[in-house]
């Protein structure tokens, strides 16, 4: 069944040029795989080779967002005017099935929300709420992989309350690229040198799944070097300190940093034989940045694990 859905999607992508209308703005085009609903026309378009995009992940109350995710990569922002007879709920259903056929995971959904919610959502993800009318909004945010490249796809569809002939859809597609270079693994000697010199070291090779305390396999080389340092310095005791950027609420980031620090301690004690008495997990959230949180580069520097000598 999934294979049939995927083949149908490929056929849809191959035929999408047939459905492109003369009403498309100059220089615009569909995403090569995700495509459009037949009969829709493009009214706004951006394709950026390297950009940052934000996506709603969790609500707090009716009009606030507790968690907003962020990703960097190749970004498409495409706004469509939907064809007559296709409302927002129907458009979302089409994309939901299309993305499910591709094996994408659902991260966030909304259904039949009002204009206030839509404006707050757009503000939360840093988008201009250029629609001025009264809408019913339906949305979904998904993530998956295409050709081994991580991708986030967000769909925001709106239906006018009083004029059912004017319905719109925003499509945000963020496709990450594999890193072109790999960071050198910080060795036990470097850990020892920095701790001797300044009592601490910031580590960036310890990686977690997005918005999660689950350690990635790529973290193992650094964990091995920490264990090697501790083996060579049997009297050393360390605070393992989790840090985050300031995206999201303070309370959420504080909790996430604590969980990530605890995950590192657990891995060192369970997988590398380090005594639990030599480690203490601490989370400080966003309160000790090393760089400005106004840029992606700064936020990436602030997301780290530090080892601090007790």
Instruction: Choose from 20-34, 66-80, 122-136 the range with maximum mean pLDDT.
Output: 66-80
Full DSSP string of 12-76: HHHHHHHH--TTSPTT----TTT---TT-EEEEEEEEEEEEEEEEEEEETTTEEEEEEEEEEEEE
Phi, psi of 44 (to 5 degrees): -155, 145
Cα separation, 237 vs 124, in Å, equals 41
Asked if pLDDT for residue 238 goes beyond 90, the answer is: yes
Instruction: Residue count of the chain, please give it.
Output: 310
Handedness of CA 197, 200, 204, 206 (dihedral sign): positive
Radius of gyration of the chain (CA): 23
Residues 254-271 have a mean pLDDT of 95
267-294 pLDDT, tens digit each: 999 999 999 999 999 999 999 998 888 7
**End-to-end C-alpha distance for the chain, whole angstroms:** 57
Q: Answer yes or no: are the C-beta atoms of 107 and 57 closer than 8 Å.
A: yes
| Percentage above 70 pLDDT, the chain | 85
Strand order of the β-sheet with 238-243 is 200-203, 304-309, 238-243, 279-285
In angstroms, the CA 99 to CA 155 distance is: 11
CA distance linking residue 149 with residue 156, whole number of Å: 23
Stated as kind and residue range, the H or E segment containing 86 is: none
CA dihedral 265, 269, 273, 277 (to 10 degrees): 90
pLDDT of residue 280: 97
Among 54-63, 88-97, 270-279, which range has the highest average pLDDT? 270-279
Alpha helices (runs of H) in 87-211, residue ranges in sequence order: 88-101, 115-124, 188-198
Burial 243-269 (b: 16+ CB within 10 A, else e): bbbbbbbeebbbbbbbbbbbbbbebbb
Domains of the chain (ranges plus CATH)? 2-175 (no CATH), 188-309 (3.30.1330.60)
Mean confidence (pLDDT) of the chain: 83
Q: Read off the pLDDT of each residue in 14-19 and give the average, rounded to a whole number.
A: 44
Q: Which of 148, 213, 157 is nearest to 175 (CA)?
A: 148
CA 205 to each of CA 7, 217, 244: distance values in angstroms, whole numbers, following the listed order? 39, 11, 14
Number of Cβ within a 10 Å radius of residue 21 = 13
For residue 170, give Cα distances in angstroms to 6, 45, 65, 132, 309: 23, 10, 19, 15, 50
pLDDT in tens, 181-212: 344 578 899 899 999 999 999 998 898 876 78
Q: What are the distances in angstroms from CA 239 to CA 203, 262, 276, 308? A: 13, 10, 11, 5
8 or 248, higher pLDDT: 248
Q: What pLDDT shows up at residue 231? A: 94
Listed ranges 49-58, 161-170, 242-251; the one with the highest mean pLDDT: 242-251
């Amino acid at each position: 069944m999934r294979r049939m859905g995927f083949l149908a999607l490929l056929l849809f992508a191959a035929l999408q040029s047939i459905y492109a209308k003369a009403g498309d703005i100059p220089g615009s085009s569909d995403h090569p795989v995700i495509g459009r609903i037949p009969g829709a026309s493009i009214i706004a378009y951006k394709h950026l080779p390297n950009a940052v995009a934000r996506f709603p992940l969790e609500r707090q109350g009716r009009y606030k967002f507790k968690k907003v995710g962020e990703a960097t990569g190749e970004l498409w922002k495409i706004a469509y005017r939907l064809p007559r007879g296709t409302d927002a709920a129907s458009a979302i259903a089409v994309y939901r099935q299309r993305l499910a056929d591709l094996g994408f995971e659902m991260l966030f959904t909304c259904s039949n929300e009002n204009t206030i919610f839509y404006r707050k959502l757009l503000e939360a993800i840093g988008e201009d709420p250029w629609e001025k009318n009264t809408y019913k909004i339906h949305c979904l945010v998904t993530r998956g992989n295409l050709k081994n490249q991580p991708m986030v796809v967000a769909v925001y569809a709106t239906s006018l309350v009083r004029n059912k002939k004017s319905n719109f859809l925003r499509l945000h597609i963020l496709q990450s690229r594999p890193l072109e270079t790999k960071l050198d693994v910080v060795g036990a000697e470097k850990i020892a040198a920095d701790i001797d010199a300044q009592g601490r070291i910031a580590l960036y090779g310890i990686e977690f799944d997005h918005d999660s305390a689950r350690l990635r396999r790529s973290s193992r080389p650094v964990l091995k070097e920490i264990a090697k340092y501790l083996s060579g310095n049997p009297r050393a005791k360390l605070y393992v300190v989790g840090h985050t950027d300031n995206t999201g609420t303070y309370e959420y980031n504080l909790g996430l940093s604590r969980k990530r620090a605890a995950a590192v301690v657990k891995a060192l004690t369970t997988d590398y034989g380090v005594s639990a008495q030599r480690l203490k997990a601490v989370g400080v959230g966003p309160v000790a940045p090393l760089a400005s949180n106004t840029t992606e580069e700064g936020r990436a520097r602030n997301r780290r694990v530090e080892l601090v000598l007790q």
